[in-house]
Structure 1
Amino acid sequence: MASKTAVGIDIGGTGIKGALVDLDKGELLTDRVKVATPQGAEPQDVLDAVKEVFARLEVTDTSVPLGVAFPAIVKNGRTLSAANVSKKWVDFEAEKFFEDGLGRGIHFANDADVAGIAEVRYGAARGKDGLVLLTTLGTGIGSALLYDGVLIPNTELGHLQRAEKKKDAEFYAAYSAMEREELDWKAWAERLQWYYDHLELLFSPDLFIVGGGVSKHADDFLPLLKLRTPIVPAVHRNNAGIIGAAALALG
């Protein structure tokens, strides 16, 4: 019996990446294609970049489902926020825009939520009861809240406010802050300590999962955190968005 497959494309603040995914195993079947997110990340420019990724994957079978993940609140196909992309995405019919531009149906969802789906189906959250909180540390901070394996969408916990600084959590503690301010692992971990302490206070989760590209360096910073809640790197690391987008495309 042939494996189930779908294409996943993950749009981020700095890069757009995609691959064909084996949904029986939760593994990439092709090399990952990646292009830079266009400067300013306006809708037409992002669509053109997505078209390039999809074309380079050379998936010509139109019956293969396509899932697209995007860094914004997504409700009923509309993007309702725009933290690291053009403000033109706010209250924008993004799903229809991509479907019209690509000439095919897609499944469209928040990027951190699809990463959570990848981890609950194939990774660190699989079979975990209770409340699992996945955070993606990259250009911003995305979040996925999973209770007994069920996704509670659009949590956007990277935008918790730090009243004393008048900046949100992702400005202070995302991986981009480490790069921007040239912090070492210890200094960055001190910021993450504040962030995860705050999440513990608000949600009392049973497990934290840390995704995003920096999760491949988990041994450099996770042991520096002192939390009551277990915290582990995402199994699928920076491919979780691709795998989750593909998984949701199939249903």
Structure 2
Amino acid sequence: MNKVLGIDIGGTKVRMAIVGQGGELSLDETVPTKTPLYPYLEDQVMRILALHPEVDAIGIGTHGFVDPAKGKVIYATDILPGWTGTDLKEQLERATGKRVEVDNDANCAALAEAKIGAAKGKSRVVCLTLGTGLGGGIIWDGKLLSGGPHGGAAEIGHMILQPNGVLCPCGRRGCYEQYVSGTALNRRIQEAGLSINSRELFEVAASDPKARQLVQEFTADLAQGISSLQAIFDMDMVVIGGGVSESAALWWDPFMQQLEPLLLNPLSVKVAEFGNEAGVLGAALLIDGE
């Protein structure tokens, strides 16, 4: 990887950065997400390439189910209207004349942590991104485990944690995402009748029995999912990132207390090294990932 334009596409903003060989950023720019998205994205890319002809390739991480071999968005929710079915790789390679690689945004974050972040040097890694929802990425023998016939591999947030549980936007009940994400925490807080946000929940847990109970439930559910993942993958490490991880110092001890009795084998668990940069860094590393 020389100079790669890494692009992280979300529901409200598109972040673009030129990433060098050592992971350094020589340009870092964020623009609002607009629809229709593809022509707008192409315009933004062409503008940057005109200013930075040294860019060799383009890596893109996007919300939704992605076929990385074809670089096609198989399915995206209404967060990105009209994005489903977009032949992103084909169209952008034709427009730019440069190599383009595409994958799911959570997979890109996982790739960044595994290659140059908290799990550097580990060959089998599971990354969980606890944000508004729950994203996941799996590194298997140093490479992303992604794609599948429907672009849905490694959708960890949609493992069933609680059968017949809370309704998920995917249409099923009891998905892991509905118990350990920021949205899930806010729902638990509201159901408990507390007038606090998720950050405050962890801060007051030491003195408030209701808050402490919610933290126990959250950490137990997080631990249970990781235990199941270990039974499948026997990974070297789990990396936990996303907005909820920013307060990890406040809930890490009860979480590890819940996790350790559930493990089949010893497991290293770390907080992600990269914050908001993980998406663009991982997108750029798609070019290096073969």
* TM tier, smaller: 0.7 to 0.9
The one-letter code matched in structure 1 to 2:88 is: A
Equivalent runs, 1:117-132 vs 2, <5 Å: 117-129=111-123, 131-132=124-125
| Identity level (%) | 29
Equivalent runs, 1:1-251 vs 2, <5 Å: 4-23=2-21, 25-30=22-27, 32-38=28-34, 42=35, 44-45=36-37, 47-48=39-40, 51-52=43-44, 55=47, 59-61=51-53, 63-75=55-67, 76-83=70-77, 85-86=79-80, 88-99=82-93, 105-129=99-123, 131-153=124-146, 154-161=153-160, 162=162, 163-167=164-168, 168-178=175-185, 182-183=197-198, 184-185=201-202, 187=214, 190-204=217-231, 205-226=235-256, 227-228=259-260, 229-250=267-288
In the alignment, the residues of structure 2 paired with residue 189 and residue 57 of structure 1 have an alpha-carbon distance, to the nearest angstrom, of 49
Contact 2:125 2:236 in 1 (8 A): yes
Look up the SS of the partner of 1:106 in the other structure. Answer: strand
Q: Are the structure 2 counterparts of residues 51 and 135 from structure 1 closer, same or farther at C-alpha, using a change threshold of 3 Å?
A: farther
| Offset from partner CA, 1:31-90 (integer Å, 9 cap, x none) | x3223434xxx5x23652574477469742064311111122211222222246346333
Larger deviation, residues 182-191 vs 149-158: 182-191
In the alignment, the residues of structure 2 paired with residue 218 and residue 54 of structure 1 have an alpha-carbon distance, to the nearest angstrom, of 40
Q: Are the structure 2 counterparts of residues 103 and 216 from structure 1 closer, same or farther at C-alpha, using a change threshold of 3 Å?
A: farther
In the alignment, the residues of structure 2 paired with residue 189 and residue 47 of structure 1 have an alpha-carbon distance, to the nearest angstrom, of 47
| Offset from partner CA, 1:121-161 (integer Å, 9 cap, x none) | 211121124x3210112232211112332321131111123
- How far apart are residue 210 of structure 1 and its match? 1.3
In the alignment, the residues of structure 2 paired with residue 202 and residue 222 of structure 1 have an alpha-carbon distance, to the nearest angstrom, of 19
Contact 2:72 2:102 in 1 (8 A): no
TM-score (norm 2): 0.70
TM-score (norm 1): 0.79
In the alignment, the residues of structure 1 paired with residue 217 and residue 48 of structure 2 have an alpha-carbon distance, to the nearest angstrom, of 41
User: What stretches of structure 1 of length at least 5 have no aligned partner?
Assistant: none
Q: Are the structure 2 counterparts of residues 188 and 241 from structure 1 closer, same or farther at C-alpha, using a change threshold of 3 Å?
A: farther
The one-letter code matched in structure 1 to 2:167 is: K
Q: Are the structure 2 counterparts of residues 164 and 179 from structure 1 closer, same or farther at C-alpha, using a change threshold of 3 Å?
A: closer
Look up the SS of the partner of 2:136 in the other structure. Answer: strand
- How far apart are residue 194 of structure 1 and its match? 0.6
Contact 2:93 2:100 in 1 (8 A): yes
Contact 1:8 1:21 in 2 (8 A): yes
The one-letter code matched in structure 2 to 1:165 is: V
User: What stretches of structure 2 of length at least 5 have no aligned partner?
Assistant: 147-152, 169-174, 191-196, 206-213, 261-266
In the alignment, the residues of structure 1 paired with residue 145 and residue 275 of structure 2 have an alpha-carbon distance, to the nearest angstrom, of 21
Contact 1:210 1:232 in 2 (8 A): yes
Contact 1:17 1:53 in 2 (8 A): no
What is the count of residue pairs matched by the alignment? 242
The one-letter code matched in structure 1 to 2:252 is: L
- How far apart are residue 250 of structure 1 and its match? 4.8
Contact 2:126 2:137 in 1 (8 A): yes
